[in-house]
Each structure stands twice: as structure tokens, then as C-alpha cells.
Structure 1
Amino acid sequence: MPQVRVRDGAHYAVVVVGGGQAGLATSWQLTARGIDHVVLEADRVANEWRDRRWDSFCLVTPNWQCDLPGFPYAGADRDGFMVRDEIVAYLEDYARCFDVPLAEGIRATNLEEYPQGFKLTTDAATITADQMVIATGPYQRPKIPRMAERLPGEVLQLHSSQYRNPGQLPAGEVVVVGTGQSGCQIAEDLHLAGRQVHLVTGSAPRVARFYRGRDVVAWLDEMGYYVKGIEEFDDVDAVRFRVNHYVTGRDGGRDIDLRRFALEGMNLYGRLVAIGGSDLHFATDLRTNLDHADAVSEGIKDSIDAFIGARGIQAPGESRYQPVWQPSVEPEKLPLQEISAVVWSTGFSRDDSWIRVPVFDGRGYPTHRRGVTSVPGLYFVGLPWQHTWGSGRFGGVAADAAYLGDQIVQRRMQTGVRWIAGLPRSEKTVA
């Protein structure tokens, strides 16, 4: 895979910032349309998968959903779940397969509007572009609550992006805060290694791995859930910021049942509300959190049953989930003296402070419609729920990249500007 040398003062028709699956998919669409561009990656291709995932990490969606443009999954285990190193290899192979014009190790530091489009300052050069695509992904700045500052120094603290394996943590009991996908899977990883885990729950929903003879993802895909546009929902903002359902692809895929973990010795708690004195303090909402997660999972099964019935599909019957454990008490405190480490599985926030273009709302979220912002020529791709449930996943980013490719071509036609590929701005002519 050839590396592009980015020269100071160079001009491109399009600059793509970010070399993950969203940036690579966009590059493929631009190449297919004959559009001169460069992809800038601050580290290496697939860096988020390589450096921010633990050793046993695997996809939670089946391999057949890895369908990047021009590069569908071609392995032998379509219904399996790629592990971390296989995901990295898949993306590296993708970048090589069409010689993406990639410049690795170049970090964008400032983006502003410019008479000819946009001026981008990086730690290597300053370049300009007619159009810009931001493909930096949602996992940029680890979020850790300020209450973490109250933990004693002898307690090791890690964000989920820093966790690798149980052996990384000191001997003793471990608190995992958060029951999104990362929190539940890290808690399981520790639990399977024989560690005493204290899992702090939240409002994240869960989903069954399999139901009525198929992976639930396969049912939802056939039902059209992954291509339903966000504008079809009444509560767009609520949908866009929903927490993902927890489930796992580990060992061929299975449910994550926190109640089962509790039966096996894991300690569960409600939401963490304070760290004070010598204790962690919790809300008394453990039962509510568990019941909510189960209700969402059973609701998805209801929709699958209705789909099967409406289509007359032959599918095996299956009994419904019965809770295997209920909290007899709602624990409100945990002594800190029992804890050796805390893993904060509390998510990420975006870091768009380098983008000096007025496209953000009061929360700092980029305002857009299907990735197209109100500033002509500036686009985002790879955002969760950018247009559909699949937008932030391997299975849906291709459609978003194709849409933006069409928008980029349309704008080029409207402006009448065409730059000869591969030359710095000073050497280019306008056709």
C-alpha cells in the first residue's frame, strides 16, 4: 500500500480525515468516481480497533455484515465473529486492495473555511481542499466522571480503552462501571478468569444472541431494521444517542445475562452516584436496570414473532426467557478497602475542537442531514445513527459513503471546479 507524501501548500479536490472503515469506504467511493483525494490518518489504518480494544475483543455482529464497498467478507466463517486482530487485518487488506491514497501519521490540528473551500493545518503540512470529509469516528476522547478523582491512589483506574486482559490488573477485587457493550464484555472477561467482579449497572438494554433458529441480527436485517432511516422515528435525538444493546460474539456468540453472572458470584449494583468517605455509593435502581434490559430483549423477540407470523415463515418455536436471579436487596455501598482496580466503561465523547467551522449544536454534536452539513462541501461519515442503525457499523457505512460520494460529485458539478489529480495547487489548472 503506497504512502502518499503530503506537501505543504498542496490542494486536493477532497480531503478525508480518518483512516478507519468510514474513511476507507469513502475513499473507495471517491476512487470509483475518479475524484482526486487523500486520506489522512493520525496513527495507522484501523488504529481504533488495534489500540483501543482488549485482547479477547470480537465483533458483536456476524462476519457477513462486514460488507465494505468492493470488499465483502470472504472468509469461511460467515456466521462467526471476527476477533480484534482479524478485524485489523480485514481493514488493512481493504486499504491495500485498491491502493487507497493514504497518508498515515498525520494529525489534523485546525480546519477552517477558505476562499477556495477549506484550509487544513496538520502536524506535517498545511493543505487546502475543495471539499472535506470528517471520518474520525465516535471513539475519540475517553469519558471518565470527575468523581474518579476521589478514589484513593492505590486503586488502579483504567478506562475501557486501556483494558487489555485480567492479568493487567493487580490481585484483588475489580469494579467495572457501566453495562454497555464494553462494560459487560470486560466484566465477563474478568469473571471467566476467576476474578471477583463488582459490576455497576446502568440503563443499557440487552438483546438475545439467537432466537427461533437464527442470530437475532439476521432476523433484524431481514426485517429492515438496519436500513430504517432515522427521520422515520418520532424521537430523533433520543434514537441518535441511545446506548447499544449488550450481547457478545465470544466463543461463537451467546447472550450476556447479568442475572446468570450474579448466580455465579458476580456482585451487581445500581448506578454509581458518589464516592465518599471509604465507600462507593449506589442508587437503588439495580432491579429496574435489570428489568429494563430484559424488557427490551423480549420486545425485540415480540417483533420477530410478529414478522414470522405475518410472513408465514417456518421457524422453530422457542420458550421465552425467565429471570434466573432477582436481587434480594439493593446494595447501596461497597467498601473501597476491598477494591484493587476500577475499569471505567463509561464511553467516549467526540473531540472536534480542531474544526473551526460553525456546524455544531449546543452539545457540540455536528448538525447534518445524512452527513451533509449546512456548510457547503463539509461532510461527516461514520457517526452512530448518521442515517440508519447500521451507519456506525461495517454493515451500514457503505451506503452512507456512497450517498456522500454522490453529494460530492453533485457539488463539483455545481461549482464547475475540477482539479487535475495528484498536483499541488500551484501546479494545477482549472478545467
Structure 2
Amino acid sequence: MTSTSRHVPVAIVGGGQAGLSVSYHLKQRGIDHLVFEKHRAAHSWATQRWDTFCLVTPNWQCDLPGHPYDGPDPHGFMKKDEIVEYLKGFIAKVKPPMREGVAVRQVQRRPDGVFSVETSDGDYTADEIVVASGGYHTPIIPRMAEKLPGSITQIHSNQYRNPAQLPEGEVLVVGSGQSGAQIAEDLHLAGRKVHLAVGDAPRCARFYRGRDVVTWLADMGYYEMSVDEHPLRDGVRDNTNHYVTGRDGGRDIDLRRFANEGMTLYGVLEDYEAGALRFRDNLKRSLDQADKTYNGINAAIDKHIAEKGVEAPSQDHYSPVWEPGEPVTALDLAASGITSIVWCIGFTPDFKWLDASVFNGAGRPKHARGITSEAGVSFIGLPWLHTWGSGRFGAVGRDAEHVVQAIEKRLGTERFAMKVAV
């Protein structure tokens, strides 16, 4: 670092809802800071979602600090454009000191204890680093993709926009988590022939016994449960989210019903060799396990209703509407009619720019509600940072306040005037 480095007490890396929430609470305390966003604020919501994307949680759960949802449909599910407008409203309220289009390339601690921050627009120093860039950085595409014929169009879920984007022909969607299940549905509803390689993602009902399942779970205190209270402890952070949708007012996603309607289901895609796609023989087990989770959540709601004496209509538990036949473990690609593949198997984190001893063997940060063992390094916006809603609009603001309280304590009682020129 040179003597011309600009200093700021707190550097926030990432300008999504997490970084903006930290900025909100820092401004409330008059603590000087700067947000670095390599694209534009809330970039991913506008550019990395498909056209029909919508929230899978009801709008009333959107509660960014000082900016709760106040639209006309609290029990609905905002579509992509509405989400972007909601975030624009939050940005307008926060008025964060932000450098958009500036990428943070490296952060490391100097011998004097201050952090050096190398960016695409010069050098900075900071007393505190808040990592608000999320955990979904590098799209996962398996090495087998390199062996597929060049005639097959391949995209990742973050590149998918709509069915017309793909060439004519049948589509293989790989992965049945939230993105995979919803993209498969999007293609299916558009009349495309879909092949779906099913993973181990669980599912849940959209509505049960007269209410949205999210509302029941909120009443049951599920969203207040901390990671330390969860039966899986830290292991819950690796869980795949349940698939469900808010599309068209909200409904279940039932892969068995899709199969009845012409979608072809397989087990996990394991390889491509000798011209054939190779699938694991786990389809029935995966579907059964997803339904077990679905009915288990509903059974917990039944218990809550009974214990609290809540008036609610009765409803039967789910029974399978389709069962797989003889497992298909090999599919001749050339003869299948498949012309495109959408990879929906997630992302890996990439924190290589941060030189700090805060990561485990898998490259994931070790922390307690965002606070790491290295003073001055904090994380925000990660799944289950503290509760289920930590990576979502519902609870990220509370986590941000917790992180900022720790920062304020470390910086001392002195207040830093907002002097950073942006």
C-alpha cells in the first residue's frame, strides 16, 4: 500500500441487501464506511434470475431495516421486477456511500493491524472488513460437461431466462432444488419436453389447512430458531432448500404430477460416456424422501394446531400420484431428442480475495452469527448465518445490526463523521 491510500473505518464488500443492511445500521450510528460493489447495487436480482422468477416466501416476510414490505399484496409473492423495485426503494432510503463498478481484488492485514484493500479503482485501508458478497459465486458445472457433444447447448441456471432462449428440441434440467424445480416447471408449462435429473432436495406444501405453510412455521417459531438450536447445528447450512413456488399466487411443485403430464424423471446424473448419459438408481428413494419431508412438516403443523386449539380446516396428507417404473440408468443422448442442458446444481463460494484465517477446509467461513475469530473480519448474508432467514429479506437486517454492534464496540465510542467521497 502506498501513502496515497484512502482510509475508511469500515469497508463493506458487496452491495446487495446484506451490504445495504449493514450500511443502514452503520449510518444510524454515524460510523463512516464505504460499500464496494463490482457491478451495481442489487445486481444479481435484476440480471441473474429468469423472467418468471418470483419469491417463494410471502411478501410480508420482506422486512429490510426501515423498509418493510408495504405493498398491496402481503400474502402474495413479488415477481422479479417487483423485487428490483422494492430494493431500489431500500437503496433510496439508505443512500449508502457506495462505489459501484469497483471490484475488491485483495484484502489482507498489514503489520500495523489495519487492512489493506486493493480494488479495481485504487487502494484503500480499513479498520473493519464486512464480507457481504454472499456465498453463491462460482456456478457449478461438472467436468462431464466437457465431454458432451458441441451440438448440445449448455447453460447454468444463472444464465437461464426463458424457454425461447433454448434451441428447439427437448431439454435436460440437472438438479431439482429450488432453481431446478422451478426452471423445469417453467419449461414444462411452455410446452417443452423436459427431462429432469432429480437430486435429494426436500419439498414442502405451499398451503396447508387453510394457510400458507410459511405462516404456520412463523407461528411455530421456526424462523426464530438459531443455528445453535437446530438439531443439525452447523450442518443445516449445507442443506438444500425445499422446492415450492410462489408463481401464479403460489402452489406446490409436485414432480410426480409433472411425470404424469409427460416430464421424464431420472436419478442423479453421474456421467456421460460412450454416447450415453448415466444416471444413479435413486429416483424412487429421492421422491419418497421429499414426500416424507413434505408430510413431516404438515404433521408438525397438525401438532401445533392441536396443541394450541387453533381453528383450521382438516386436510389429508399427501399420497403419491405417480410411481417410477423400471429405473433408467443410461440414456442414448443422440437418440433422446435432447438439444440443451440447464445445469441447476448450485454454486461454490469464492473468497480467495480475502487473506484471513477464518475459513474451514471447504473454503467456507467459520463464524458465530457473522463474527469471526479474527478481529475486524465479519460476514453477513450467508444461509443460516444465524437463522433460516439470514440470507433472505426477512432476517438479514437483524444480523446486520448484530454485526454492526460488534463493529461499534471494537471501534470504541468515538463517532466517525460520514466524510468518504464517492
1:237 CA drift (Å): 3.3
TM-score of the pair, normalised by structure 1: 0.94
Mapping 1:343-354, distance limit 5 Å? 343-354=342-353
% identical equivalent positions: 53
Q: Which amino acid aligns with 2:348?
A: S
How far apart are residue 233 of structure 1 and its match?
2.7
Contact 1:8 1:125 in 2 (8 A): no
CA shift for structure 1 position 210: 0.3
Determine the structure 1 residue equivalent to 2:388: 389
**In 2, distance between residues paired with 1:326 and 1:317?**
26
Paired with 1:423 and 1:83, the residues of 2 have a C-alpha distance of 35
Q: Give yes or no for contact 2:170–2:193 (8 Å, CA) kept in 1.
A: yes
Q: CA deviation at 1:419?
A: 4.4
| Change in 2 beyond 3 A, CA 1:420/1:395 | closer
> 8 Å contact 1:13–1:418 — kept in the other structure?
no
Q: How many residues align?
A: 416
Q: Structure 2 matches for 1:47-58, cutoff 5 A?
A: 47-58=43-54
**Post-superposition shift, 1:421?**
3.3
Partner amino acid for 1:251?
A: D
Partner residue, 1:428: none
Counterpart residue identity of residue 286, structure 2: N
Structure 2: distance between partners of 1:121 and 1:14: 14
- For 1:151 and 1:112, locate their aligned partners in 2 and report how far apart those are by CA, in whole Å: 41
Of the candidates 283, 288, 312, which is equivalent to residue 315 of structure 1? 312
Determine helix, strand or coil for the equivalent of 1:203.
Answer: coil
Match 1:107 to one of 97, 103, 109: 103
Instruction: Determine if contact 1:209/1:253 at 8 Å carries over to the other structure.
Output: yes
- 1:293 matched to 2:290? The reply is yes
Q: Structure 2 matches for 1:83-94, cutoff 5 A?
A: 83-94=79-90
1:44 to 34, 40, 43: 40
Q: Distance in 1 between matches of 2:247 and 2:417?
A: 48
Structure 2: runs of 5 or more not aligned: none
Alpha-carbon distance in structure 2 between the residues aligned to 1:78 and 1:262: 33
Residue-by-residue CA offset, 1:373-400 (whole Å, 9 max, x unaligned):
1110110000001011111111111110
TM-score (norm 2): 0.96
Tell me the amino acid that sits aligned with residue 178 of structure 1: G
CA distance in 1, matches of 2:417, 2:230: 43
Residue type matched to 1:160 in 2? S
Contact 2:220 2:304 in 1 (8 A): yes
Asked if the contact 2:8/2:127 (under 8 Å) is kept, the reply is yes
**Do the aligned residues in 2 keep the contact of 1:206 with 1:296 (CA within 8 Å)?**
yes
The CA RMSD over aligned residues, in Å, is: 1.4
Q: Aligned letter for 1:163?
A: Y
- Residue 72 of structure 2 corresponds to 76
- Which residue does 1:282 correspond to in 2? 279
Residue 201 of structure 1 corresponds to 198
Whether 1:366 aligns to 2:365 is yes
Inter-partner Cα distance in structure 1 for 2:187 and 2:196: 11
* 1:9-20 pair list within 5 angstroms: 9-20=5-16
Q: CA deviation at 1:423?
A: 5.3
Aligned partners of 2:33 and 2:420 also within 8 Å = no
Q: How far did 1:94 drift?
A: 0.6
Alignment of 1:153-168 (within 5 A): 153-168=150-165
Hey, what does 1:429 align to over in structure 2? Answer: none
**Per-residue CA distance 1:149-177 (angstroms, 9 max, x = gap):** 11101000000000100000000010000
TM-aligned CA deviation for residue 119 of structure 1: 1.1
Kindly indicate whether the alpha-carbon contact (under 8 Å) linking 2:64 and 2:397 is maintained by their aligned counterparts in 1: yes
Offset of residue 405 of structure 1: 1.3
State the AA in 1 paired with 2:79.
Answer: V
Residue 176 of structure 2: which of 176, 179, 197 is its match?
Answer: 179
Match of 1:61 in 2: 57
Residue 418 (structure 1) shift: 5.5
Please state whether the residue corresponding to 1:132 is helix, strand or coil.
Answer: strand
Are the counterparts in 1 of residues 116 and 126 from structure 2 also a CA contact under 8 Å? yes
Q: Within 1, Cα distance between the matches of 2:396 and 2:4? A: 31
1:163-221: per-residue Cα shift (whole Å, max 9, x none)? Answer: 10000000001000000000000000000010000000000000000001110011111
Aligned pair in 2 of structure 1 residues 131, 303: CA closer, same or farther (>3 Å)?
same
Q: Secondary structure at the match of 1:317?
A: coil
Alignment match, 2:118: 121
Q: Which residue number corresponds to residue 404 of structure 2?
A: 405
Secondary structure at 2:21 match in 1: helix
Shift of 1:80: 0.7
CA contact (8 A) 2:29 2:415 kept: no
Using the alignment, how far apart are the partners of 1:273 and 1:227 within structure 2?
A: 38
Per-residue displacement from partner, 1:238-261 (whole Å, max 9, x unpaired)?
211000000000000000000000
Q: Distance in 1 between matches of 2:65 and 2:414?
A: 27
